[in-house]
A and B are shown apart, each in its own frame.
Chain A
Amino acid sequence: MFVPFVAPALIVFTLIVLAPTVFSLWVSFNEWAGAGPMTFAGFANYARMASDPVFVTSFVNTMWTLFGVGAAVFVVSFALTMLLQNMLGRKFIRLVIFFPSLVPGVVVGILWGFLFNADGLVNTVIGGLGVDDPPGWLSQEHMFKIILLGIMWLHTGVYTVILMAAADRIPRDLYEAADLAGATPWQRFRYVTLPLMWDVVSVCIVLWCVQALKIFEFILVFTGTGGLPDRGVWNLALFSYAEAFPTDGTPAFGMAAATGMLILVLAMVFTVLARWVLRRDDVQY
């Protein structure tokens, strides 16, 4: 009876996810414009990455998202978790800050971009505070920072929700025991809260790696043109898409696939690393 239950799902999963992954790996070793012949190129696509400035920028931007925004999201989520543990209106705040992560990236990207427009709300506010010469938020040098800030805003809610649920499961008497032993707030966090949430934290880090690597539409729509934005703000997902469907020039399916493979490898390496570095014996309580 096992087979008829599992087979349909497995077949569709194989056709849509597994087989294309394997075929992508093959394409990544070729030069291919989609139509016409495929020429074997060995590691040429991978070798070209390092010398392509657009790729390097996209890679660096992806790393900023993964580590920079990742660290910020976790610090803020932990702070909010600790804070909301005993605060009036916690359920309400949790519900509200979670909502942006459900809204399509296209929509929040457009709104976030509009806030920082030259005539946008942010400038109206700081103009009212007496700043007459606001920085060009969407200029080359600032735009990506604003995007990172937006990504952070979007994701904080999800991690706060997950961490809060974990914190809620910690029995109260452990804190009482810590108080009786004269623990400071920091010690209670360090020796009671953190060890008991460790497992959930590592799940969150894995989830973040996967989510951060696939961010696409938020950046795509940010500049409000509807087409591909300035190359300076691309990440690997945008780079891969632009290689396959360029606005001008021939499609480079090989390079697009190679970039996809790189994203996959990054996701797996970081997942394994996160699980391994954060490996602890599960604490039963």
Chain B
Amino acid sequence: MNAPADTAPPNGAARDGRGRRSRSGFHYLLIPAAWALAVFDLFVVAWMLISSFKTTREVFLDPWGLPSALRWENYVEAWNSANIGEGVLNSMLLVGVSGVATIILAAPAAYALSRFGNRGSSTLTVIFVLGLGVPAQAIFIPLYIAFDRLGLINSLTSLQLIYTGTGLPFAVFLLTAFFRTLPRDIEEAAVIDGASTWYTYSRIMLPLARSGIITVFMLQAIGHWGETFFALMVLQDKHTISLALLEFMKAMQYTGARWSVLFAGLSLVVLPLIVLYVWLGSRIVEGIAAGYGK
């Protein structure tokens, strides 16, 4: 019996018989299911993009068809009157600044925790990692009070601080693991050549850790792109993408359904992610797999 075409081992590691043995009815049932899941995901994105060019009437009357004309005005309306434009710019600013700030704080800490071998380093690492389990609901009341007293409610600065602080555990966790994988002899050579610790870190180790840093930055940025809980708490009349979408949905209760404009807004939020994903997708996926798998 020849192995069917779909049993080709992924890494070319010869036909080892294991493919053949696992063929069962169950298996043949699951392969279409896996494809169906992937096709469904692609379909949802495609449907959203197509619907964003229709009129709301067309969305409901002809949900499977193509738009009768490309209504770019949906995008103009979403960008302007639905505040998605302001939301996109604010959210970009937020994820950019807080992402960089997180790296600036986390990278030296992770380097020290992974290399200096102080007595407290393992305790400190554990404290940072425990932060991964602290939910937003366990810290939002004091943060709200503090920013309120400081007059920082409705300010992007407070959100940037929150995103930076809550992003630290993950960044320290991932970068500590990353620095551990770098070879030690380079640093030893630098020390013998008389380089200072700071020089060794900033000129030698940091550039070596570049791919880890980019992964952390990307994951932080994606994670905070549509953050809603803290944004709702802090901002009042400013918009991030999620606040603009929520407000637009609220407005639809009174102004009538404008779903095609909403879909244009959703597309404006998702399109940057699609571009990023097509560009860096395998890297993000590998980063996740490596970060949790080891």
Contact = CB atoms under 8 A, between A and B. Distances in A.
Interface in B117-151: 118, 121, 124, 127-128, 131-146
A12 B164 CA distance: 8
A264 B226 contact: no
Contact of B111 (A5, A89, A166): A5
Contact of A165 (B127, B164, B226, B293): B293
A6 B112 contact: yes
A253 B145 CA distance: 10
Q: How large is the interface on B (under 10, 10 to 19, 20 to 34, 35 or more residues)?
A: 35 or more
A179 B292 contact: no
Nearest to B162: A16
Interface in A104-128: 104-107, 110-111, 114-115, 119, 121, 124
Interface in B216-236: 222, 225-229, 232-233
Interface string B198-211: 10010000000000
A99 interface: yes
Interface stretch (A46-54, A65-73, A137-145, A254-262): A254-262
A96 B41 contact: yes
Main secondary structure of the interface of A (DSSP, over half): helix
A243 to B, nearest CB: 10
Interface string B239-266: 0011001111111110000010010001
Main secondary structure of the interface of B (DSSP, over half): helix
A116 to B, nearest CB: 13
Interface residues of A, number: 102
A179 B17 contact: yes
B118 A16 contact: no
Contact of B34 (A4, A84, A99, A188): A84
A217 B250 contact: no
B269 to A, nearest CB: 5
Contact of B124 (A6, A179, A207, A220): A6
Nearest to A172: B13
A98 interface: yes
A73 to B, nearest CB: 13
A179 B17 CA distance: 8
A83 B30 contact: yes
B164 A124 contact: no
8 contacts: A83-B31, A95-B285, A106-B242, A107-B270, A161-B288, A203-B292, A217-B229, A244-B140
The 4 closest A-B pairs by CB, nearest first: A104-B226, A16-B165, A165-B289, A226-B250
Given A102-B222, A217-B229, 8 more contacts: A6-B108, A17-B165, A83-B30, A93-B34, A156-B37, A210-B135, A244-B144, A267-B134
